[in-house]
DNA sequence: TTGTATACGTACCGATCGGTAACACTGTCA
DNA sequence: TGACAGTGTTACCGATCGGTACGTATACAA
């Protein structure tokens, strides 16, 4: 769940590769944890710097604003998300149905953890409905890419209507993220992989 | 989307039937609209009273706190939600599959509206992850009841595994709420009814 | 007319919000 | 040695947060 060291420079300043200040990493690590677990709006910058053991000026030297810090958190989340996704994909080369099943089995397991808090991307989009908000922009980009990949995988499976199946899988995934944090242990999210496989079976060309 | 007059007394003070002050209704109406469209944490009590044309003491005479006002908003949302749900149910007596299809067709249409903001219950649960928060309590109760009813309907349909199908439908519904506000027009939520029907077909005893 | 209760408004509270100005200290590298 | 980047310190800003003490207006009953 924590950002990895080698990605910090990319995440903090959106691409330029100068050495990242030391304090910035601690700030982003703490912000990542707090934003994810308790929500972005619920956390003030004072709490972040306090728990990171730094001061506010250090935060504002590395991040232009709290909104941009939130966007940086989500860019890190994006990297972590695709790492998990690609692990499932790479485990079953050439078999998109097995890839989906592997990914969703893992999602289903994660939703059953005691303090599961859903998808950081999804949550951020709920917290910031205004179009163009820095955090929302990152979130929307992640979801559009996920949709594109799911539709491509549905096509590779030979679905009767690939876009329909891809979107159906996306709905199940988002539903798992949300109901995972709403119901906790024993909730509907545990059945996401099975339901997805049922939907896939029903969507293949006969 | 607005609370109805006849429900205000129930909603405001959680059951006791004394006459509700006149200002309380305006406050709840305005809070309903603002909380739903822009989020609970994003709206301050000052903005609510200003747009309601009243003053803060009036708010705090009818509602013990902002958190309780949020809970009142969700109690009203609960009434409105079940009204919509039961309209779809009543339109197809004795035919749970058609009931689900009717409800989801309507949900799918709503998600395509320009400023669709998802489900107020779901959004509130994302905004308030702390267990026991007044708003979250209402939200969780609503979702548990929805799960119960969906599972009962799946059973009435004659599903091979009714709980599995009921939970699958819940995942699709929550996915539609979220992706509706994430993708907007043309997003995956428009296909929720079709995907649900596919899943139902695949889940019936052969 | 007066008493009483209820609803409403003015003005204010301390705390926290995101964000900044100014300056001292430290380590690195030329 | 000197320059410089990064960090720390302290103190502060105006705005807004949720919430309240207290006086006033209005309605109805006696």
Q: Give the pLDDT confidence score for residue A21 in this predicted structure.
A: 67
Cβ separation B182–A39 shorter than 8 A: no
Best probe of the B interface among A138, A178, A181, A193, by most B CBs < 10 A, is A178
Please answer yes or no on whether B168 and A179 come within 8 Å at the CB atom. Answer: no
For the full predicted model, state whether its pTM sits above 0.85. Answer: yes
How does residue B32 score in pLDDT terms, banded at 50, 70 and 90?
very high
Predicted confidence (pLDDT) at residue A163 exceeds the cutoff of 70:
yes
**pLDDT score at A3:** 38
Nearest to B173 among A139, A175, A192 (CB): A175
Map residue A74 onto helix, strand or coil: helix
The answer to whether residue A65 scores a pLDDT higher than 50 is yes
CA of A58 to C1' of D3 (A): 22
Q: Give mean pLDDT, residues B72-91.
A: 98
Quick: pLDDT tens for B106-115.
Answer: 999 999 999 9
Looking across all nucleic acid strands, the nucleotide with the smallest C1' to CA distance from residue B60 is D19
Round to a whole number and report the distance in Å from the CA of A19 to the C1' of C28.
Answer: 14
Of A20 and A169, the one with more pLDDT:
A169
Mean pLDDT of chain B: 90
Partners of B129 on chain A (C-beta within 8 Å) are: 37-39, 117, 181
How far away is chain A from the Cα of B6, in angstroms, using its nearest Cα? 30
- At A62, give phi and psi (nearest 5°): -100, -25
B130 half-sphere exposure, CB direction, 13 A CA radius: 8
B182 membership: H or E segment, kind and range: helix B162-183
Distance between the alpha carbon (CA) of A13 and the C1' atom of D25, Å: 59
| B18, pLDDT greater than 60 | no
Q: What is the pLDDT of residue B24?
A: 86
8 Å CB contact of B39 and A38: no
Q: How far is B123 from chain A (nearest CA, A)?
A: 6
Residue among B164, B179, B201 minimizing CB distance to A174? B179
Mean pLDDT of B189-197: 98
Helix axes A96-110, A134-157, angle to 10 degrees: 140
Interchain proximity B125–A188, CB inside 8 Å: no
Phi, psi of B159 (to 5 degrees): -70, 150
Residue B2: pLDDT band (50, 70, 90) is: very low
First to last CA, chain A: 41
Taking residues B75-80, what's their average pLDDT? 97
Q: Which long-range contacts (CB under 8 A, 24 or more apart) does B188-192 make?
A: B188/A147, B188/A166, B188/A167, B188/A168, B188/A170, B188/A171, B189/A171, B189/B107, B189/B108, B189/B111, B189/B112, B190/B108, B190/B111, B190/B112, B191/A164, B191/A167, B191/A168, B191/A171, B191/B108, B192/A171, B192/B104, B192/B107, B192/B108, B192/B111
Q: How close is the nearest chain B Cα to the Cα of A21, in Å? A: 32
Size of interface A-B (CB pairs under 8 A): 156
Residues with CB under 7 A from strand D: A 18-19, 21-24, 53-58, 61-62; B 43-47, 55-57, 59-60, 65-67
Mean pLDDT throughout B143-151? 98
- pLDDT over 70 (residue B12): no
Q: Residue B183 pairs with which residues in a beta bridge? A: none
A165 pLDDT tier (thresholds 50, 70, 90)? very high
Question: What's residue A23's pLDDT?
Answer: 80
pLDDT, tens digit, for every residue of A113-132?
999 999 999 999 999 999 99
pLDDT of residue B5: 37
Task: Kindly state whether B13 is in contact with chain A, defined as any CB-CB distance less than 8 angstroms.
Answer: no
Question: Could you give the CA distance from residue B62 to residue B140 in angstroms, rounded to a whole number?
Answer: 24
Q: Average of pLDDT values for A144-168?
A: 98
Spacing of B68 CA from C4 C1' in Å: 31
CA atoms within 13 A on the CB side of B111: 30
Q: Is B83 on the interface with A (CB under 8 A)?
A: no
A65 touches strand C (CB under 7 A): yes
Pairs from A28-32 (Cβ < 8 Å, separation ≥ 24): A28/A3, A28/A69, A28/A72, A28/A73, A28/A76, A29/A2, A29/A3, A31/A69, A31/A70, A31/A72, A31/A73, A32/A1, A32/A2, A32/A3, A32/A73, A32/A76, A32/A77
Calculated CA dihedral for residues B15, B134, B149, B12, nearest 10 degrees: 30
Check residues A49 and A2 and name the one with the higher pLDDT: A49
pLDDT confidence bin for A96, thresholds 50/70/90:
very high
CA distance linking residue A113 with residue B158, whole number of Å: 32
Mean pLDDT of the residues in chain A: 90
Partners of A203 on chain B (C-beta within 8 Å) are: 198
Give strand C nucleotides closer than 7 A to any protein Cβ: 6-12, 16-22
How far is it, in rounded angstroms, from Cα A122 to Cα B127? 11
For position B20, what pLDDT does the model report? 54
Can you list the alpha helix ranges (DSSP code H) found in chain A? 8-13, 22-38, 45-52, 56-62, 66-90, 96-110, 120-127, 134-157, 162-183, 192-203
Percentage of the residues of chain A whose pLDDT score is greater than 90? 84
């Amino acid at each position: 769940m924590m950002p990895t060291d080698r990605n910090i420079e990319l995440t903090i300043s959106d691409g330029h590769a100068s050495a990242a200040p030391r304090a910035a990493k601690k700030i982003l690590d703490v912000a990542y944890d707090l934003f994810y677990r308790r929500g972005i709006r619920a956390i003030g910058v004072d709490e972040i710097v306090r728990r990171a053991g730094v001061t506010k000026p250090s935060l504002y030297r590395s991040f232009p604003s709290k909104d941009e810090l939130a966007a940086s958190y989500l860019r890190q989340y994006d990297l972590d998300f695709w790492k998990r996704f690609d692990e499932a994909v790479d485990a079953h080369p050439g078999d998109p149905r097995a890839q989906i099943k592997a990914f969703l089995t893992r999602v289903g397991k994660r939703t059953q953890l005691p303090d599961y808090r859903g998808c950081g991307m999804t949550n951020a989009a709920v917290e910031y409905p205004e179009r163009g908000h820095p955090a929302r922009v990152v979130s929307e980009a992640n979801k559009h890419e996920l949709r594109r990949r799911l539709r491509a995988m549905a096509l590779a499976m030979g679905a009767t209507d690939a876009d329909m199946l891809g979107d159906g899988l996306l709905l199940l995934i988002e539903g798992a993220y949300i109901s995972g944090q709403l119901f906790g242990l024993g909730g509907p999210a545990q059945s996401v992989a099975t339901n997805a496989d049922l939907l896939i079976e029903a969507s293949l060309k006969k």
